[in-house]
Amino acid sequence: MRQIFLAFLLITSVSIYGQSYNFNISVTDSLREISPYIYGTNQSGEDVNNTFFRIGGNRLTGYNWENNASHAGIDYNNSSDNYLPWVMGIESESNVPASVMISHHENSLSQGANSLITLQMAGYVAKDKNGTVAEGQTAPSSRWNQAVSVKGSDFSLNPDLTDNYVYMDELVNNLVNEFGYAGSETGIFAYCLDNEPALWPSTHPRLHPAQATCNEVVNNGIELSMAVKDVDAGAKIFGPVFYGFSAYYNLQDAPDWQTVSNKKDYDWFIDYYLEKMKKAETDHGKRLLDVLDLHWYPEAKGDSRISDNTSNSANDVAARLQAPRSLWDNNYTENSWIGQYFSDYLPLLPKVKQSIDKYYPDTKIAITEFTYGGEDNISGAIATADVLGIFGKYDVYTASFWAGNENSSYIYEGYKIFRNYDGNKSVYGNLYVPSVTSDSVNSSVYSSISSLDNKFHIITINKSSETATANFNINQSSQIFDGKVWCLDGTQSSIRQLPDVVNITDNSFSYHLPALSICHFIFKNDVPFDVELSKPENFEIEVNSYPNPFNNSLKIEYSIPSKDFEKIEIFDISGKTVKTYLNPAKSGVIEWDGKDNNGNLTASGVYNVAFFANKKIIASSKIMLLK
């Protein structure tokens, strides 16, 4: 009966509209959580309901947290000045240590969002706010303070402004003192290892005139990451903050790339970086890279490069609407120098994931700067919404849009279709549901379930300039009903509500999608979804055990943000509890000497470390005892 009904929908829709898409959606037994951090930005958009704010960009490479001076590089006359406090509206706090970072995170907290803070790794930061730095004052000179990862002595909340040094671990300590540890409700969740090191000689010729080397980026990153985690063990580390494909490939033809890659099977610099950071974990007994941090400004072209502010010709728009496919689609080759000469590296996300699986498993992926252009028209909103759907589908951990236009209103509307479609901060679901379209050239479809309110969400994208008929088929045992629809298209610059879905039969229905549109469908379910999350929503649980396997003793480093966190237990392979730690701190390190609760040595074998909150296991980790 369902097949006959769908065939009828297809026949009748084609007779009315030229475009027709079939969307098939299947609710599986095991649903993966969509990372809440993919809905981030680098600048604030009105009513976007962000989950994540990054403070980064060229200004941050030369930022001095002690006095809040920063260096513009080529963005503005190689000037060192008070720009950051000025642009943030906190000039009265210019001399308060780290006030730029504090203000940024306070803004994140006020919006219920998390923060990613940029740390300095290029060797020097602005010492003063005296304007243009002349070529003869290139670092090292009296215009710069040296940026050092580890202070090596007691921290101060009032740093010494006369010693010509700025310490990164002291900054992290200052922020921990202000907001608590990363695992707390107000702590800073992550830090990134500077910004776009492959471009330092071109963006900051007075600060770092020499081209960054592979060893410099790796070794400085390891040292800075160690410094952060020695102060705040639960903080995530993002690196190396690549600006684009040439940095991914060979770190902008770094001087030592041929040497470090000689007789190796690396496909690109990403492989080398991941391998070295994996070795650093082994050497130091802790993970020093949590998230591989990439920037992605598409090189795809219509008449011009689509990410340029003025690229809005018909050919530019057509290329922009297809460009997100370079993230995932093997059947698409973009018109770009990457597509022409480096097509083996596209689609991007599967290629990056392949490198992670080979060289450093469990590393997460972040795209902390991106724009697809068209920020003031519907094509930019469609591309951005498509990308947000792709990030959820392909398990990207963190993402943040970078505004390239003074008017980015359409982009923020594209965010709101996920995060505030009705003006009441109602959001897309948190559990990913597989979905496919019959026409990936002209359409996209993304689906999710909300575990909190028992709603089923579908987001559709019609890339065609014609109205299209969409035929939906949802495979699940329970029935959906009460379909509401919200839409953004080119007819107006804000989201509007469309007529409800009617005539749902066996979870199948048809609906007409406006031309060049993003539609968000929301359904109720006739019975609650049988879904239980394995960890508290919107928190990341951090567990590292080392050395593993172990002989005499094992350290378990953890950060458990749940307010109901109550105990840690170690089980043997049969499920028997051998060791219990009651009322532990929410983050820290415990050491197990291989003895049970009675002080007896346990046998060699595999054990599970389990973390309990509200009488349920919310995280676990396998360990192995060898004697």
Active-site annotation, residues: 196
Q: Tell me how far CA of residue 542 lies from CA of 21, 535, 556, 599, 619, in angstroms.
A: 42, 11, 10, 28, 9
What are 55's strand-pairing partners?
Answer: 117
Q: How far apart are CA 538 and CA 33, in angstroms?
A: 10
Q: Tell me how far CA of residue 82 lies from CA of 167, 170, 249, 444, 578, in angstroms.
A: 20, 21, 36, 45, 58
Main-chain dihedrals φ then ψ at residue 223, nearest 5 degrees: -65, -45
Question: By CB neighbour count within 10 A (0-12 exposed, 13-18 middle, 19+ buried), where does 449 fall?
Answer: buried
Q: Tell me how far CA of residue 111 lies from CA of 42, 188, 225, 494, in angstroms.
A: 14, 14, 28, 21
With helix as H, strand as E and coil as C, how does 251-300 read?
CCCCCCHHHHHCCCCCCCHHHHHHHHHHHHHHHHCCCCCCEEEEEECCCC
End-to-end CA distance of the chain: 64
Residue matched to tokens 């050092």: 148
Q: Which of 273, 209, 213, 269 is nearest to 239 (CA)?
A: 273
Main-chain dihedrals φ then ψ at residue 175, nearest 5 degrees: -70, -35
Residue matched to tokens 């007994």: 285
Q: How far apart are CA 244 and CA 198, in angstroms?
A: 9
Question: By CB neighbour count within 10 A (0-12 exposed, 13-18 middle, 19+ buried), where does 403 fall?
Answer: middle
Q: For residues 547 and 285, is the Cβ–Cβ distance under 8 A?
A: yes
Q: Which of 349, 341, 409, 345 is nearest to 380 (CA)?
A: 409
Q: Tell me how far CA of residue 306 lies from CA of 267, 315, 331, 540, in angstroms.
A: 27, 9, 20, 35
Q: How far apart are CA 167 and CA 162, in angstroms?
A: 13
Q: How far apart are CA 258 and CA 623, in angstroms?
A: 39
Q: How far apart are CA 62 and CA 468, in angstroms?
A: 51
What are 446's strand-pairing partners?
Answer: 459
Q: Running DSSP on this structure, what letter comes out for residue 603?
A: P
